[in-house]
Amino acid sequence: MFGKHSDSGFAEVLPGISIKTICRGSSTLMTEFRLKKGSLLSEHSHPNEQTGYLVKGRIKLYIDVDGLELAPGDSWCVPSGLPHRAEILEDSVALEVFAPPREDYLKYLNPADIIV
């Protein structure tokens, strides 16, 4: 499967936080998040391991209780089941991979961007 870049197909899941699933496989799922300055991603956890990369902007990411300000090129890994949250300090773009795939994120896959 190939995913082609486009600006269409993003869904706002929280105020200032939009998501699009950009590619998926049998063991992983990749998403692009577009995050507006001042937005908050409230604390949550899920059974999927989550690895991310900040493409643009600045965020403060809290994993468990520890927080760290991240800049473009920084990355992270949130272990399965660990609480995490984020404060968006600048307009940002992040890529995240979930393993196993988040079934609830399949609805954010834009069929027009996928080449099988």
| Whole-angstrom distance, CA of residue 1 vs CA of residue 74 | 27
In sequence order, what are the beta bridge partners of 11?
Answer: 19
SS3 call for 44: strand
Residues 6+ apart with CB under 8 A from 43: 62, 83, 84, 85
Ranges of residues in the chain whose predicted pLDDT is under 70: none
The percentage of the chain sitting over the pLDDT mark of 70, rounded to a whole number, equals 100
Instruction: State the pTM of this model.
Output: 0.93
| Whole-angstrom distance, CA of residue 45 vs CA of residue 100 | 14
Q: Is the peptide bond before 47 cis (omega within 30 degrees of 0)?
A: no
Range of the domain at 104: 2-115
Domain count, the chain: 1
CATH number at residue 53: 2.60.120.10
Reference 46, options 100, 19, 97, 82; nearest CA is 82
Q: CA dihedral in degrees (61, 93, 76, 58; nearest 10)?
A: -40
